[in-house]
Structure 1
Amino acid sequence: MHRTSPHEYFLDASGVEPAVFELRPDYRALLLVADGLDMAPSNPVSDDLVDAAEVHARALLGAGPVEDLPHIAAWRAAYRAFGAKPQRTRNSLQALTRRAADRLPRVNALTDIYNAVSVLHQVPIGGEDLALYRGPARLVRATGDEPFEAFADGVPTVEHPSAGEVVWRDDLGVTCRRWNWRQGPRTALSERTRTAFFIFDALDPMTDEALGAAATALSSALDRMSPGIDVSRRLVSAE
C-alpha cells in the first residue's frame, strides 16, 4: 500500500493564500523537495552548469537590457502591484541574471546548481533547508507584524515586512521577503543540509511546461551530484 511520505505531507500542506492570486491570477509556484543530498563543494557537475548559465546570461543581455527580458519584466510589474520599487529591490531572477553576465559566485554545488538553473531557465528559484522549517510554507500578504530574521552589518536583527507585502512564511515567521527578493538566514542551506526545499516562482509568459522543465533540470543535476535522491514536487496555481 502506498504511504504518503512526510515530504508529500509538507507539500500538500503548503500553499498560496487567495489574496496573492487576486494580485496576480497568473502566478504559479512549483514546490520541490529533494531528500538524501550529499552536500559537496563546487564540482564538475555544478561548474559546467554555472559556465553555461554565464554564457546564456551574456547572450540574453547582448540582445537588450535585463529589465526587458519577458519574465523579469513580469516580476517587475508584480513588485509594483504590492508597492515595492523594482529599481531598489530587484527580483531574484533579475539580480542573478545581471550578475551571471559577469560571473556567478561559486558557493557550493547545491547553491551553484540552483542558481545556474534559475538563469538558464529564466525563473526565480529559492532554496532552503527543509529541516529548519516549522510547519508548512505559505505565500501570503503580510500584516506587517511577522518577524523576519536577518543580519544588518553582520549583526543579527529582526525586521518586519510592510503591510500587504507578499512574503513566504512558516509557523515561526517570514522565510523570504517581497515574494522572491531576499531569503532569511534561519532556513538557509548549509553544509548540514540533507533535505532541500525549492520554490520556483512563475508568472505569464512562462508556461507550465517551461516551469516543469526547469524543475526537471534541477532534479537531474541534483541526482548527478547525489545519486539516488528522493524528489517530490507539487504545482500550486489559482486553478
Structure 2
Amino acid sequence: MLTVSPSIAPDIYGIAPGFRALSITVKAAAVQNPHVGETALKEACAAVLAGAPEWAEDHLAAWAKVFQGFGSKPKRTPCSADALRKRVLRDGEMPALDPVVDLYNAVSLQYAVPVGGENIAAYQGSPRLVVAKGTEPFDTVKEGEPAIEYPSQGEIIWCDDTGVTCRRWNWRQGIRTRLGVEAQEMWFILESLPQMPLEKLHEAGKMLTDGLEKMMPGLWFDVALIEEQHK
C-alpha cells in the first residue's frame, strides 16, 4: 500500500509554535467527474467574496508573522493561502487550471489554509520540512526557461533527497513534483497555525477527500494529523 511519512524538523515548531498539518495520501482511480474541482472553486471564490471564513484574517496574519520570522517578506512572497485569497478579492474569481489543482485551491480558499498537492511518485525519499542550508537545488521556470535556484540559508523549505519541492514553506512549488489530474499517486499537505480551529482543519481535509471521491470514485486515501510530539 502507498505510504508517505512526512517529517517535520524539531526547530520548525520553535519558528511556528502550535503548527499542525494534515497529511493526505491518495492512490488515484479513473476520473469520472472532472467538473467537481471547478465547481468547488467557484463556490469557494463566492465564499471568500462573502467574507468567509471568520478566522481568515487572523490565520493569514499569523502566517505572515511566521514568514517574517524566517526572513521572508510576506507582502512580496506570501503564504499560498494568502496569495490565493488576495487574487480572488482583487479579480472576483479564479480560472480553472486542472481538476485536482482546482479542488485543492478551493479547499485553501474555503478554509484560508495553505494546501500543497504533490505527485508523490516523483519524490526521492520522504517529504521533509526543514530549515534550508542554502545549497538545496530548486527546479523552476525563469523567463520561460527551466532554471535552478537555491533557497536562502535559514529559509523554511519542503524537500526530498533530490532537492527543494516547495520554497518559503508553502509559497512556490517546484516543477519536478508538480501535481496534475493524471497523477496516480498524490500527496496533499494542509498546514495550519492555532488561529485556525483544529476541527476546521479536519473539515478542510474532508472537503478535499470528499471532492476527490466524487471526482474519481474508487480511489484509496489515508489521512494523518501531524503535530509536535511533547515528551
Q: 1:107 is matched with which residue: 97, 102, 116? A: 97
C-alpha separation in 2, matches of 1:183 and 1:128: 9
Query: Is 1:172 the equivalent of 2:172?
Result: no
Query: Is 1:47 the equivalent of 2:38?
Result: yes
C-alpha separation in 2, matches of 1:128 and 1:35: 12
TM-score (norm 1): 0.89
Shift of 1:191: 4.5
Q: 1:182 is matched with which residue: 166, 172, 175? A: 172
Q: How many residues align?
A: 226
User: Structure 1: 5+ residue runs without aligned partners?
Assistant: none
SS in 1 for 2:176: helix
Measured on the aligned residues, the alpha-carbon RMSD in Å equals 1.9
**Corresponding residue for residue 201 of structure 1:** 191
Q: Residue by residue, what CA displacement relative to the aligned partner does 1:59-94 show, whole Å, maximum 9, x if unpaired? A: 128x9xxxx711111110000000101111111011
Question: Contact 2:33–2:215 at 8 Å: present in 1 too?
Answer: no
1:148-163 alignment, distance < 5 Å: 148-163=138-153
SS in 2 for 1:18: coil
C-alpha separation in 1, matches of 2:178 and 2:79: 18
**Corresponding residue for residue 17 of structure 1:** 9
SS in 2 for 1:186: coil
Q: Residue by residue, what CA displacement relative to the aligned partner does 1:72-131 show, whole Å, maximum 9, x if unpaired? A: 111100000001011111110111112223211201211111101110111100111111
- Opposite residue 36 of structure 1, the aligned amino acid is A
Q: 2:202 is matched with which residue: 205, 212, 217? A: 212
C-alpha separation in 1, matches of 2:19 and 2:96: 30
SS in 2 for 1:98: helix
**Corresponding residue for residue 91 of structure 1:** 79
User: After alignment, is 138-147 or 190-199 more displaced?
Assistant: 190-199
SS in 2 for 1:171: coil
Question: Contact 1:37–1:193 at 8 Å: present in 2 too?
Answer: no
Percent same amino acid at aligned positions? 37
Q: Residue by residue, what CA displacement relative to the aligned partner does 1:122-170 show, whole Å, maximum 9, x if unpaired? A: 1100111111111000000000011111110111111110111000001
User: Structure 2: 5+ residue runs without aligned partners?
Assistant: none
Query: Is 1:80 the equivalent of 2:71?
Result: no
C-alpha separation in 2, matches of 1:39 and 1:147: 33
C-alpha separation in 1, matches of 2:181 and 2:99: 10
C-alpha separation in 2, matches of 1:202 and 1:231: 21
C-alpha separation in 2, matches of 1:84 and 1:46: 31
C-alpha separation in 2, matches of 1:161 and 1:223: 36
- Opposite residue 151 of structure 1, the aligned amino acid is V
